[in-house]
Structure 1
Amino acid sequence: MKKIIPILFIIAALIITAAIAFGIKSTKTVDWEESFNEKSNKPYGVSIFYKELPTLFKNHKVRTVYHQPASYLLAHSEDSFGEHIAEGSFVIIGNSDYLEDDSVDELLHFADSGNTLFISDYYFAQKIHDTLNISVEYIENTKDSISYQSLKYLDIKNIAIDRNEGDNYFSKFDTVNHTVLGHSKIDYKHVNFIHVPFGEGNIYLHLEPKAFTNYNLLKEDRYKYAEGIISYLPENDVYFDSYTKIQTGYDGNVEKESNLSWFLEQLSFKWAWYTALIFGILFMIFNAKRRQRIIKIIKPLQNTSVAFVKTISNLYFETQDHKNLIDKKITYFLERVRTDFNMDTSVLNDDFIVKLASKTGKKKEDVKKLIDYINWLRTKNEFFEDNLIQLNKLIEAFYLK
């Protein structure tokens, strides 16, 4: 052990020296990347706007959506498994190019049902252009890097947006049914903010997302422009589309997410974390040879079938291991379907539901409710007692004659 201590000191010295050298050589530069990340404090992050949303929409819930709108809005529609029915305003600031056709369909359906969709980006998904019959073009800023923003029906005019090489503007839209709400001006004035009535709801499209970034909200009185745009949204709940996306299906966790990435962006925190991690690994390696505590011998229970099953199930239930119980119940149910009805259970789709209902004589609606719930549970990462109880009720109802 005495020989190991000098080695540990040498390793520690090397780590500290490397950290100091790296810190001296690294020069902190401003990152002007337009991320529109609600967790970023960089100039073109939107953390200030994101933190002000609860103040702008007092007495209303502000939810952060980390999933594709298709999976999230579908889960929070009527007759689905979400905790509530999604109603209010869905807000997207930049990065809307990730939207696929199924997500666009859900967003349009959301607006058509009496809600509000707000997107501020340089361009939109092609399906939005085609559905709303709009076109967007780009004009280059040849004189300087400044464009001037104005809102038509509010006393907000000539708000400067600098570091702007050009502007996107609406070159085509329905001048009868669509309402012009704002303009941008470089060489001449052009439309960059419109309101589109859609079904029972509304869609607002804006083409200068930099207006909502930290840099512009903190400079002079530019915050008034962003504040004026948001004033068009109704007083209702807000669903803020997160920069970070979970590509898997909606699992019920919509607002909480780890923020470890912010710490790793800070040089001091990053080296402290890596140093602690390295010493932790070294501690485990050099203590692996230490004498292990005596393991108490526990007499095993008799392996009788009923008592054994009861003991194991109680163990899972008392330790709140709902996932294991749910997985086993689903596995056992599908095994019985394969054995009793000679059916392939690898794909649980509509054809499977129809065949199972036909072979069992059950109503298709009852079978669909059970299979849809199993498919939904398979997308979740976290389970609760209510999920286990609901699954058990559906399986028991299936076996009742």
Structure 2
Amino acid sequence: MNKTFKIYAVIFAIILAVIALLEINKKEVTDWRKNFETSRKSPFGLYIFDHEAKFLFKDKLRKISENPYDYYENSDEKPHNIFVLESELDYESWTKIMDEVTKGSDAMIINQHIPKDISDSIGFYTSNFSYSESNVLKLTDKKFSNSFVKIDKFPGGRGFTFIKPEIEILGKIISEGSEDQAGFIKAKFGKGHFYVHSEPLFLTNYYLMKRENVHYAQDVFSYLPDRETLWFSDKKSEKSQFFMRFIFSNPALKYAWWLLLGGMLLFIFFNAKRKQRIVPVIDPLKNSSVDFVKSIGNLYMQEGDFHEMMAKKAQYFLHKVRIDLLIDTQNLDDEFAKKLQLKTGRSEDKINEAIILIRKAQDPYASVMKEDLLRMNELLDEILK
């Protein structure tokens, strides 16, 4: 086990210990947001209502995923019940609902906020009338005298402040320090009716957990005729299709997932330094020319062909003179000797002696000895040194 791996293991163990301590000491946090979502089990979700709705509507409830405008544009329904619960519908959808109510349908609207143009057309107006920490919802009909709900957690405090004389008040909101306010009304509209409730909290999980509050919900919906009810909702009740939903829905798995990601990030961070690769040792290319020349020289020496070696040396020397000193070597006369002496700075005697030996090397019939080769090689090297 190398040192780096040990460091990672220690860091990972420390993180695990910290998370374990946090998990042990963690207190359950309650989500008190008013989400009104049928899939939520939080206090102000609609999970219980969604499962009990069939019972409340006597198995005649049908959920509609489209908005009312799109739905009624493509269908021709006979008179029915319409149910809207805390949904943000567009103006065209509200208009379609009003058209259906005019034809003989009944609409149960449980919303805190309804467009003013719509509420004015029906005959009421909503506003905040109470900021009390608790309100009581109570029905006005004597046969429902024991039907009420105490809203003691974040009540909306909204009621109907302007109501046309022909509108019937079915329920009131009783608030300490304020006058009773209408909270549930019935309005005749064409051949049908609007039933409007200003406080949707009584249908949330927190309040339906209490058995006595269920009776209030039953009594509210009892005003609707016994026929099919269409529930229009912009809240998506279907389960999320996100592939991580199961992990995120389980706290332990969720922490494990984040721990895994954190560990991967730490691993990447500590390995971000560029590791130097081993640079292979490459031997420099050998200059084989020298070895080749030595081999050729040894061959000539073994053969005793001193004349050929002198000729090669002379040929190489004259080539260098032409290239480096820019002296014509066609005629090895006095003029050549003078130019070579001037450019090399060597004595005239050595220049003349070298020229004599070069001519001897160029003469194929000349008799050459080893001493001639050695002397010419010495002179030519000295001249071009």
TM-score of the pair, normalised by structure 1: 0.54
**In the superposition, relative to structure 1, how do residues 189 and 19 fare at CA in structure 2: closer, same or farther (>3 Å)?**
same
- In 2, distance between residues paired with 1:57 and 1:87? 16
2:168 equivalent in structure 1: 179
2:46 equivalent in structure 1: 46
**Contact 1:140 1:165 (C-alpha < 8 Å) held by counterparts:** no
Partner SS, residue 222 of structure 1:
helix
The match for 2:250 among 251, 255, 266 is: 266
Q: Return the offset for 1:196.
A: 1.5
- Superposed counterparts of 1:39-188, under 5 Å: 39-65=39-65, 67-75=66-74, 77-78=75-76, 85=77, 88-94=80-86, 96=87, 98-142=88-132, 145-153=133-141, 154-157=143-146, 158-164=148-154, 167-176=157-166, 178-186=167-175, 187-188=178-179
**Contact 1:88 1:237 (C-alpha < 8 Å) held by counterparts:** yes
2:322 equivalent in structure 1: none
- Code of the aligned partner of 1:180: I
- Code of the aligned partner of 2:254: K
Q: Return the offset for 1:40.
A: 0.8
1:204 equivalent in structure 2: 195
**In the superposition, relative to structure 1, how do residues 227 and 58 fare at CA in structure 2: closer, same or farther (>3 Å)?**
closer
- In 2, distance between residues paired with 1:72 and 1:276? 46
**In the superposition, relative to structure 1, how do residues 266 and 240 fare at CA in structure 2: closer, same or farther (>3 Å)?**
farther
- In 2, distance between residues paired with 1:91 and 1:276? 46
- Code of the aligned partner of 1:150: K
- In 2, distance between residues paired with 1:126 and 1:73? 23
- In 2, distance between residues paired with 1:111 and 1:124? 16
Partner SS, residue 175 of structure 1:
coil
**Contact 1:53 1:62 (C-alpha < 8 Å) held by counterparts:** no
Confirm or deny that 1:37 pairs with 2:29.
Answer: no
**In the superposition, relative to structure 1, how do residues 198 and 25 fare at CA in structure 2: closer, same or farther (>3 Å)?**
same
- After superposition, the C-alpha distances for 1:216-240 in whole angstroms (9 at most, x for unaligned) are 1113512211111111122222333
- In 1, distance between residues paired with 2:11 and 2:195? 58
**Contact 2:123 2:187 (C-alpha < 8 Å) held by counterparts:** no
**In the superposition, relative to structure 1, how do residues 137 and 58 fare at CA in structure 2: closer, same or farther (>3 Å)?**
closer
- Code of the aligned partner of 2:251: L
**Contact 2:39 2:239 (C-alpha < 8 Å) held by counterparts:** no
Gaps of 5+ in 1: 79-84, 246-254, 280-401
**In the superposition, relative to structure 1, how do residues 102 and 236 fare at CA in structure 2: closer, same or farther (>3 Å)?**
same
Partner SS, residue 229 of structure 1:
helix
Over aligned residues, Cα RMSD in angstroms?
Answer: 3.7
- Code of the aligned partner of 2:44: Y
Partner SS, residue 107 of structure 2:
strand
- Superposed counterparts of 1:1-400, under 5 Å: 20=20, 23-24=23-24, 26-65=26-65, 67-75=66-74, 77-78=75-76, 85=77, 88-94=80-86, 96=87, 98-142=88-132, 145-153=133-141, 154-157=143-146, 158-164=148-154, 167-176=157-166, 178-186=167-175, 187-219=178-210, 221-244=212-235, 257-258=239-240, 264-271=248-255
**In the superposition, relative to structure 1, how do residues 275 and 128 fare at CA in structure 2: closer, same or farther (>3 Å)?**
same
- In 1, distance between residues paired with 2:188 and 2:78? 19
- In 1, distance between residues paired with 2:186 and 2:84? 15
- After superposition, the C-alpha distances for 1:354-392 in whole angstroms (9 at most, x for unaligned) are xxxxxxxxxxxxxxxxxxxxxxxxxxxxxxxxxxxxxxx
Identity %: 24
**Contact 2:185 2:195 (C-alpha < 8 Å) held by counterparts:** yes
Partner SS, residue 244 of structure 1:
coil
- In 1, distance between residues paired with 2:215 and 2:127? 26
- Code of the aligned partner of 2:135: S
1:336 equivalent in structure 2: none
**Contact 1:91 1:117 (C-alpha < 8 Å) held by counterparts:** yes
**In the superposition, relative to structure 1, how do residues 197 and 256 fare at CA in structure 2: closer, same or farther (>3 Å)?**
same
**In the superposition, relative to structure 1, how do residues 141 and 244 fare at CA in structure 2: closer, same or farther (>3 Å)?**
closer
- In 1, distance between residues paired with 2:15 and 2:72? 48
What is the total number of aligned residue pairs between the two structures?
258
**Contact 2:34 2:44 (C-alpha < 8 Å) held by counterparts:** yes
- In 2, distance between residues paired with 1:120 and 1:102? 18
**In the superposition, relative to structure 1, how do residues 189 and 86 fare at CA in structure 2: closer, same or farther (>3 Å)?**
same
- Code of the aligned partner of 2:124: I
Larger Rg: 2
**In the superposition, relative to structure 1, how do residues 155 and 269 fare at CA in structure 2: closer, same or farther (>3 Å)?**
same
Q: Return the offset for 1:205.
A: 0.5
Gaps of 5+ in 2: 264-385
